[in-house]
């Protein structure tokens, strides 16, 4: 018999222990100073009670255990209330980044085959206009005022009132009113779509055991204790805060555009509520680093989604208190965290990174088994130990552990390519996830990230990886960032370096910068094969973190730029 497991199970306990502790503070209206008033507060007691009422209302409306339910709601109390209500019901929330390409978004929703759709009016309007889920959606819930009479269904406010009345009636009869399905660990808890930075986003199937393991790994890896105040600038991460006993301060920013966040608004929230920890993408870290204002209340900063540039790490360390920690965990939607490293150790590896060693991502989290296998583009059905390469040898990073997911929803080919079955005893086997990343272990047992496997450049002279090449050129004083791409057939590719110049560098400087980059290339065997340097006005990046460079698009652009030059 599989034990009951549900990520929402911790909420009633915390609500009973600390009912008046704010679970979250949201921006609300604007003050006379132009900053958000943060006049929307939800306590743990309210979060538990209201999510129970919403769960009861959703259940009465026909949203039941196991039902795939798209949630398109802005970061707000309603988003968190809905997510915990769905977890309590045992329904399956489906989360898709709304800012991805329109055709990819439709494909994601068609693949998920949702039976219910919960969204703000704008999302409901888009659903009707673009035909999302036409064949499968049977239950529609609108969050906020229903401004257009173009869709049927219910409003969240009405369902919450109905659910509260149903629970009050049960209480009057002496019946239990807590809403918590007896889900088991292997039951599907959610479908979270990847950022799609390397193709059409895939729906990662999260089971309840994956969510619970993730909470445990994050708590243990970073030493998170209840009672802290978190500023999570990536909304899905805010879902972990109630399970960890933290107060979430939802930032006044567009979460899909972290590079455009106003640092003054972030600092205002941090000061006002004594924020002790912050999660953000490397793009957001760059915003804070460039702003240059000290962050005296922060005890812990975590940045993930892509490697954090060394200069940003150094600047953030100076802005934080001496005893604060700056963590850069390594992982993916399919498995997080895999490995962690703190900035003090990361800074000792900066010189090696800028000399072409790759980015050190630290040591694997204790519960994970991380191994490097030789580079293979084919599917691997069953694990074999002879796939494993030794220390210092670049290969594909694999991980097996409690938070490693085991399939993509409705994408059997993607599952086949990314998952390996490993027999660990006569009665037991586990799934090994292929990260799709290249890396190696050093002699100290630290993991080094060298770039995406699909982004590797294979020339006649051998393998070139993005994270071993780009940091070398990123040290140039006039360069914002670079991106290595390959043009031509693999094995005979021509390596091309696309270059983004820093803001304010005039066009006339490019000729001089290019000449300097060419000289830098000739000084290092890793880069001596690069003979093509192309200035780009602004790299395409992923919608989720604004940090992962769309190298597939850049490769096509570079190919067009070099048409007639390469043979």
Residues 558, 448: Cα–Cα separation, whole Å: 28
Strands 188-193 and 203-207 come out as antiparallel
Asked if 397 and 414 sit in the same domain, the reply is yes
- 306 part of a folded domain: no
Q: Are residues 131 and 46 in the same domain?
A: yes
**476 and 441 inside one domain:** no
pTM comes to 0.93
Q: Answer yes or no: do 447 and 533 share one domain.
A: no
> Residue 19 falls within a domain, yes or no?
yes
Q: How far is CA 168 from the centre of its chain?
A: 39
Where a domain ends, among 405, 421, 452? 452
Residue 424, domain member (yes or no): yes
DSSP structure class, residue 488: S
Q: Calculate the alpha carbon distances from 251 to 79, 243, 439 in Å.
A: 14, 19, 34
For residue 500, the enclosing domain spans: 456-561
Domain annotation covers residue 48? yes
Residues 135 and 176 in one domain: yes
Q: Residue 528 is encoded by which pair of tokens?
A: 């001596």
Specify the CATH number for the domain of residue 419: 2.30.38.10
Q: Specify the pairing of strand 359-364 against strand 369-373.
A: unpaired
Convert the pLDDT of each residue in 20-43 to its tens digit: 999 999 998 888 888 999 989 999
pLDDT of residue 1: 41
Distances (CA, A) of 300 to 208, 231, 295: 27, 11, 11
pLDDT of residue 234: 82
- The domain total for the chain is 3
Q: How many residues does the chain have?
A: 567
Which of 135, 170, 205 is the last residue in one of the domains? Answer: 205
Beta strands in 369-475 (DSSP E): 369-373, 395-400, 419-423, 429-441, 447-452, 457-459, 462-464
Strands of the sheet with 479-487, listed across from one edge: 479-487, 494-501, 532-535
Residue 467 sits in a domain whose CATH number is 3.30.300.30
Asked whether residue 549 falls in the same domain as residue 411, the answer is no
Judgement on whether residues 490 and 430 belong to the same structural domain of the protein: no
180 and 195 inside one domain: yes
Structure tokens at 320: 């934080």
Q: Are residues 438 and 482 both part of a single domain?
A: no
332 assigned to some structural domain: no
Instruction: Decide if 242 is inside a domain.
Output: no
* pLDDT value for 149: 58
Alpha-carbon distance of 304 to 281, in angstroms, equals 5
Residue 35 within any structural domain of the chain = no
CATH number reported for the structural domain that contains residue 178 in this entry? 3.40.50.980
CB atoms within 10 A of CB 102: 10
User: Does 447 fall in a domain?
Assistant: yes
Residue-level pLDDT at 243: 87
Same domain? 48 vs 178: yes
3-state class of 26 per DSSP? strand
Do 403 and 366 share a structural domain? Answer: yes
Among residues 437, 452, 467, the one where a domain terminates is 452
- Residues 362 and 479 placed together within one structural domain of the fold: no
Q: What pLDDT was estimated at residue 287? A: 96
Residue ranges for the chain with pLDDT beneath 70: 1-3, 98-99, 146-151, 195-199, 543-546, 567
Confidence (pLDDT) at 543: 66
Q: Which pLDDT value is given to residue 151?
A: 67
Chain centroid offset of residue 538 CA: 22
């Amino acid at each position: 018999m599989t034990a009951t497991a549900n990520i929402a199970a911790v909420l009633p306990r915390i609500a009973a222990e600390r009912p008046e502790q704010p679970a979250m503070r949201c921006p609300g209206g604007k003050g006379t100073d132009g900053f958000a008033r943060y006049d929307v507060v939800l306590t743990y007691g309210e979060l538990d009670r209201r999510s129970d009422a919403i769960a009861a209302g959703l259940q009465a409306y026909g949203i039941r255990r196991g039902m795939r339910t798209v949630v398109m709601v802005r970061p707000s109390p309603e988003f968190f209330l809905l997510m915990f209500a769905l977890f309590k019901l045992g329904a399956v929330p489906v989360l898709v980044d709304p800012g991805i390409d329109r055709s990819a978004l439709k494909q994601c929703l068609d693949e998920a085959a949702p039976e219910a759709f919960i969204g703000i009016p704008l999302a409901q309007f888009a659903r009707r206009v673009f035909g999302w889920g036409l064949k499968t959606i049977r239950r529609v819930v609108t969050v906020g005022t229903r401004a257009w009479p173009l869709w049927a269904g219910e409003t969240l406010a009405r369902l919450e009132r109905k659910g509260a009345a149903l629970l009050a009636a049960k209480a009057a009869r002496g019946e239990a009113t807590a809403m918590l399905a007896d889900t088991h660990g292997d039951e599907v808890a959610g479908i979270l779509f990847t950022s799609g930075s390397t193709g059409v986003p895939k729906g990662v199937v999260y089971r309840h055991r994956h969510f619970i393991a993730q909470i445990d790994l994050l708590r243990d890896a970073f030493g998170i204790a209840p009672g802290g105040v978190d500023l999570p600038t990536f909304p899905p991460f805010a879902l972990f805060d109630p399970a960890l006993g933290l107060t979430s301060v939802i930032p006044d920013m567009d979460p899909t555009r972290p590079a455009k966040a106003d640092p003054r608004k972030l600092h205002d929230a941090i000061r006002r509520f004594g924020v002790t920890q912050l999660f953000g993408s490397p793009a957001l870290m760059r915003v804070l680093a460039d702003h240059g204002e000290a962050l005296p209340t922060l005890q812990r900063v975590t940045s993930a989604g892509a490697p954090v540039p060394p200069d940003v790490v150094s600047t953030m360390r100076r802005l934080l208190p001496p005893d604060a920690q700056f963590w850069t965990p390594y992982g993916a939607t399919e498995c997080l965290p895999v490995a962690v490293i703190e900035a003090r150790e990361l800074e000792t590896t900066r010189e090696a990174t800028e000399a072409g060693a790759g980015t050190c991502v630290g040591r694997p989290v204790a519960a994970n088994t991380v191994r490097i296998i030789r580079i293979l583009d084919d599917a691997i059905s069953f694990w074999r130990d002879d796939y494993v390469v030794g220390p210092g040898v670049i290969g594909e990073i694999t991980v097996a552990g409690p938070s490693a997911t085991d399939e993509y929803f409705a994408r059997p080919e993607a599952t086949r390519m990314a998952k390996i079955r490993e027999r660990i005893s006569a009665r037991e086997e586990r799934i090994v996830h292929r990260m799709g990343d290249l890396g190696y272990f050093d002699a100290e047992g630290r993991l080094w990230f060298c770039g995406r496997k699909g982004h590797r450049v294979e020339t006649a002279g051998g393998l070139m990886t993005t994270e071993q090449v780009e940091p070398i050129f990123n040290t140039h004083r006039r360069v914002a960032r670079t991106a290595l791409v390959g043009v031509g057939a693999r094995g005979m590719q021509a390596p091309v370096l696309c270059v983004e110049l820093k803001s304010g560098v005039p066009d006339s400087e490019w000729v001089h910068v290019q000449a300097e980059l060419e000289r830098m290339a000739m000084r290092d065997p890793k880069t001596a094969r690069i003979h093509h340097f192309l200035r780009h006005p602004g790299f395409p990046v992923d919608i989720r973190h604004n940090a992962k460079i769309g190298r597939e698009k850049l490769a096509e652009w570079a190919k067009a730029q070099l048409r007639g030059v390469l043979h």
